[in-house]
Amino acid sequence: MSVIVITGASAGVGLAVAERFAKAGWQVVAVARQAERLVSAVSLLTRSGGRAIGLAGDVSDPEFVARVGHEVTEAFGGIDVWVNNAMSTVIGRDEDLTDADYRRVTETTYLSQVYGTRAALNAMRPVDRGAIIQISSGLALRPAPLQAAYCGAKAAVDGFTEALRAELIAAA
């Protein structure tokens, strides 16, 4: 049975991806911060005939994300696909945003993808297989006003992904 981990899987794009893979017979590990929404998402996935479990926690916590990778590997024997989808945003002019606003968006939108990628690679390197999918945004390439924190975080995702991709190719 193929195993997919999806962060930010309780709504939106994450839930849509989870539903598609659950219907295709994959074991879905849905990860999200809000436990109540996660329970609803897992219920939806299993009602539609899929196999899904939920792990609630904050993907901006590197220890939590590493634990997800380890626990999924232990429970299912590996991870075939890891989708880094979690994000947060705040809309407003830079002068109206706080340092905490920028920190939360950066930690959830960018650093969670770094942590997720590293957790996935820890599971995938020993078996030399697997895929990591980063969910970015067109706003990384063409920023929009009132979304500086989000646009910056998504641009960081793109830069990180391209740099790491080059490292992995060079190591192959």
The DSSP output letter for 127 is G
Q: Report d(CA 62, CA 59) in Å as an integer.
A: 7
Token pair for residue 5?
A: 């981990």
**Two tokens, residue 53:** 């479990």
- Catalytic entry in 102, 110, 115, 150: 150
Contact indicator for 119, 71 with CB cutoff of 8 Å? no
Does the annotation mark 102 as catalytic? no
Per-residue pLDDT of the chain (172 residues; tens, 9 = 90+): 899 999 999 999 999 999 999 999 999 999 999 999 999 999 999 998 889 999 999 999 999 999 999 999 999 999 999 999 999 999 999 999 999 999 999 999 999 999 999 999 999 999 999 999 999 998 888 989 999 999 999 999 999 999 999 999 999 8
- Kindly report the number of other CB atoms within 10 A of residue 22's CB atom: 23
Task: Give the position of tokens 């705040």.
Answer: 90
**Residue 89: φ, ψ to 5°:** -145, 165
Per-residue pLDDT of 129-153, as tens digits, reads: 999 999 999 888 898 999 999 999 9
Q: What is the pLDDT of residues 97-122, one digit of tens each?
A: 999 999 999 999 999 999 999 999 99
Indicate the pTM of the whole model.
0.95
Which residues lie below 8 Å from residue 152, measured CB to CB, with a gap of 6+?
106
Residues in the chain: 172
